[in-house]
Amino acid sequence: MSDPLRVLVVDDEDDVRLLLRLQLETYGHSVTGEAADGQAALDLCRADPPDAVILDLLMPRMNGFEVIPKLRTELPAVAIVAYTAVAGDFVRNEMRRLHVPLVLKTANFAPLDVALHAAVADLRDRSTGPAR
């Protein structure tokens, strides 16, 4: 099993959060908290910065698109993985532009696990690598 991560789960659906929590625990990760909207996610990240955030994009109050630039500015060491049911061209292009990995919601956690590790490794490489 690869390195365990501390992960914040952000999704407005209770059952999606429950499933992600159980899947993360099965894969050896710990869940630092759960948030149902972007503002709650920011508050939890500020209080206890995780290694990574699993971020739903469509949420009430503050959506995922609005959270990403705020997190990047305030907590650049927190990796972000966007997690959404369906991604059309707009979402794919927007996540590519923001350099946020995108994973589609499925019953299989493995692709999300891979994306979480890759996003965290990428951030660590950037912070320890030579200045460009």
Partner 1 sequence: MTGLSPPVTLRGMPVQVSDVDLLRRRVLNVVGHELRTPVSTLSGLARELETCDDDGKRSELAAAVARSARRLDRLVDDLLLAAGITTLVPVEEAQAVDLVATARSLWTGPGDAISGCAVALARPQVARRALTELLDNATIYGEAPFSITAWATGGRAIVEIANGGPAISDEELALALELFFRGERAVTTQAGLGLGLAVARTLVEADGGDIALRAGPAGGVIAHLELPAP
Distance CA(61)–CA(4), nearest Å, equals 31
Tell me which stretch binds partner 1 (CB under 8 A): 18-26, 27-35, 94-102, 113-121: 18-26
DSSP for 46-97 reads HHS--SEEEE-S--SSS-HHHHHHHHHHH-TTSEEEEEES---HHHHHHHHH
From 1, 47, 107, 131, residue interacting with partner 1 (rule: CB under 8 A): 107
23 near partner 1, judged by CB under 8 A: yes
Tell me which stretch binds partner 1 (CB under 8 A): 8-16, 46-54, 67-75, 115-123: 8-16
97 near partner 1, judged by CB under 8 A: no
From 3, 4, 18, 69, residue interacting with partner 1 (rule: CB under 8 A): 18
Indicate the SS3 state at residue 10: strand
β-partners of residue 102 are: 82
Q: What six digits make up the tokens of 29? A: 């990760």
Contact residues: partner 1, CB under 8 A: 12-16, 18-19, 22-23, 26, 58-61, 63, 65, 85-86, 88, 105-109
